[in-house]
Structure 1
Amino acid sequence: MNDLLYRMTFNVLKDIGFGQANEEVEDGASKLGGSLTIIGPTNPAPWILRMAFALFPGVWNIPHWFKFLEMTQGIVMKRLSSQPESVDIASFFLEDAQRKEADMISREAVGGDCGVILLAGSDLTRDSTSGPSLILLFYCLARWPEHAEKIRQELRNVDYNDMAALSALPHLTATINESLRLYPAGPTFGSRVTGPEGLNCDGVFIPGGTKVVAPRWSTGRQAYEAAHEFIPERWYSKPELVKDKRAFAPFSMGRNSCGGKKVAMSQMRLAVAVLVSKYSIRFAPGTTDEMSVENDMRDQLTPLPGDLKLVFEKLE
């Protein structure tokens, strides 16, 4: 399931971002995935990454990063020479570049915007967020099939092509939220620096200029009753199971929150609705450790789940 969902989400991103679906999907996802194996471990200290780029350009997975940059430049150049039938995300920053005099906007800068969309704004790629989030969501549906059945009942007489109708289904949205609570798209991502006056946190003084982070992985297991249990109902019919609503921020919050939130949620709702309404979902025969998806997961800026092997059996 991993590669299938990675390719699907990467393809969607290229379509809505640059009007370039169905082109070099597998190769592009591979380059993006390889690049993030570098960014993840060095995220707390990006100066290490800059030093590695300058001194060791051919070592480890660093070549993946440069290949990724080449890919983004190719995507931008192809987009500049074409005009998609519908408005894509690239339309907005290309128009902005033209307003600011195109000659002053380097190809590298526009390519950087392209990379940001693929890496972060998407929520949709191999080691960005929707790819892993979809894998972990289907893992939850296979592990707790009663929730797939509840969603199936909600979907009766609902057109799953109607995004507004899907967003109104409480158990569908709650199941996605519960999966994001337990398996956040950025488990330990989102560091900040304390102000010059420092910060007093629960009786502990943190000096000014100190890098701090509140890991979503930890808050997702501390700010809830029965925190280690998968209970989607806590998000609509059992609010007493949520100790502090502020702890749930899977897409961050404020002006720096994820701009692709609605796209990501729509994609996850649609993927679940289409598959759950047509198929039953279970772990593949021979799966000796159902929790390997979770136990083998790595944190590399965004999560990299273990292999998920499922069987989709067509419903009568």
Structure 2
Amino acid sequence: MQRIYEQYGELTRTGPNEITICRPDALELLDGPKNNNTRDVWYDILHPRRALVFSRQPDEIRALRQSWSKAVSSKCTLTGLKEYSPRIVKLSDDLVNCITSYNGEPVKMNDVMSWFSFDAMGEMTFGEDFGMMRDKKIKKQLAHQREALALLEPFNDATWLAHAGFSLFPFLPVAKNCASYRRNVLMGNSISAMVAGSDTTRAALIGIWYYMCHHPEHMEKIYNEVHGINVDDVSRLVLLPHLDAVLKEALRLAPPATTGGSRIVGPARLQVNDQFIPGGTKISAPKYVIHRRKCSVS
């Protein structure tokens, strides 16, 4: 997408009915509070399973959001962080031990961060980790997830293939034994939590490690910031300015979702500067390109 932007400019036709927008205001145009767009058909990939992040219907999104709103509110988020903090601290200790065990030999951080993020997701979502850092081994759960995620891009405009796969190979059969939720809702939310809670975390952590290794002076500054404070106290960590700046800058340069979700322009059409995009057009805004434009950070 970076090469396409450099060659063709801010608005580029990247498909028969698709426009890619590489402008700083594109993110708000796609997902801002006043937008009239709907999610692309790709979000039907889990159908008939239902999940907040994969729903395309506004009424259904509002209904599903109610079950998540309390969990992600600022008050409950801080309470949840305090509750889960000991578990994450333990996983952090496992991470340190895992890296130390290589005794100075090169470490494949891609694998290590995959183990860590999946263990953390297990703690947060299912109440227990998968022991991947302790075993230094990719479990079948992670292998299956990687294989499934690798198919998302080819299925972008052929979601019926994914539907066939879900029908032929049931995912998360444990959901059948849960009587308090409908199976489709439980499975949809479980898949969402597994993907959002592990893969994006893994990508973010790998990006942070990459830039820290290339700029070790920032690693030293962070070490000086955390030295002498209780690193188990989340409320103290969020107040460290250089740590916060490094996290934000790494996410800007290497966003976990590099292209972002596509949208379908509503009937009222979309105006981008002096250009009008008709309703029914598929649009996307690649974060990787937008975040690196000088006009986005000036």
TM-score range, shorter chain: 0.5 to 0.7
Q: Over residues 152-177 of structure 1, what are the superposed CA-to-partner deviations in whole Å (9 max), with x where a residue is unaligned?
A: 11112111111111111011111011
| Partner of residue 253, structure 1 | none
Contact 2:254 2:288 in 1 (8 A): yes
- What's the TM-score, normalizing by structure 1? 0.53
| Partner of residue 259, structure 1 | none
Q: Over residues 33-67 of structure 1, what are the superposed CA-to-partner deviations in whole Å (9 max), with x where a residue is unaligned?
A: 11000113433x2xx1314653xx5xxxx9xx976
1:212 match: secondary structure? strand
Q: 1:66 to 1:147 in 2, by over 3 A?
A: farther
2:152 match: secondary structure? helix
Match of 1:110 among 186, 192, 198: 186
CA displacement at 1:16 relative to structure 2: 1.2
Q: Is 1:11 the equivalent of 2:119?
A: yes
| Partner of residue 35, structure 1 | 148
| Partner of residue 204, structure 2 | 133
Alignment of 1:293-308 (within 5 A): none
Q: 1:131 to 1:52 in 2, by over 3 A?
A: closer
Q: 1:157 to 1:131 in 2, by over 3 A?
A: same
Query: Matched residues in 2 for 1:204 and 1:42: separation?
Result: 30
Q: Is 1:216 the equivalent of 2:287?
A: yes
Q: Partner amino acid for 2:190?
A: C
Match of 2:217 among 136, 142, 146: 146
Query: Matched residues in 2 for 1:160 and 1:224: separation?
Result: 36
Q: 1:146 to 1:109 in 2, by over 3 A?
A: same
Alignment of 1:1-316 (within 5 A): 1-22=109-130, 26-43=139-156, 45=157, 48-51=158-161, 53-54=163-164, 69-70=170-171, 72-74=172-174, 76=175, 98=180, 102=181, 105-106=182-183, 108-120=184-196, 122=197, 125=198, 128-224=199-295, 242-243=297-298
Contact 2:118 2:130 in 1 (8 A): no
RMSD: 2.5
Q: 1:77 to 1:17 in 2, by over 3 A?
A: farther
1:42 match: secondary structure? coil
Q: Which one has a larger percent helix, Structure 1 or Structure 2?
A: 2
Aligned-pair identity in percent equals 30
Aligned residues, how many?
185
Q: Partner amino acid for 2:127?
A: G
Q: Over residues 105-138 of structure 1, what are the superposed CA-to-partner deviations in whole Å (9 max), with x where a residue is unaligned?
A: 23x4312221111012x1xx2xx20101111110
Q: 1:32 to 1:198 in 2, by over 3 A?
A: same
Structure 1 gap segments, 5+ residues each: 81-96, 226-241, 244-316
Q: 1:198 to 1:134 in 2, by over 3 A?
A: same
Q: Over residues 205-244 of structure 1, what are the superposed CA-to-partner deviations in whole Å (9 max), with x where a residue is unaligned?
A: 100111111111111011458xxxxxxxxxxxxxxxx32x
Query: Matched residues in 2 for 1:32 and 1:158: separation?
Result: 37
Q: 1:12 to 1:52 in 2, by over 3 A?
A: closer
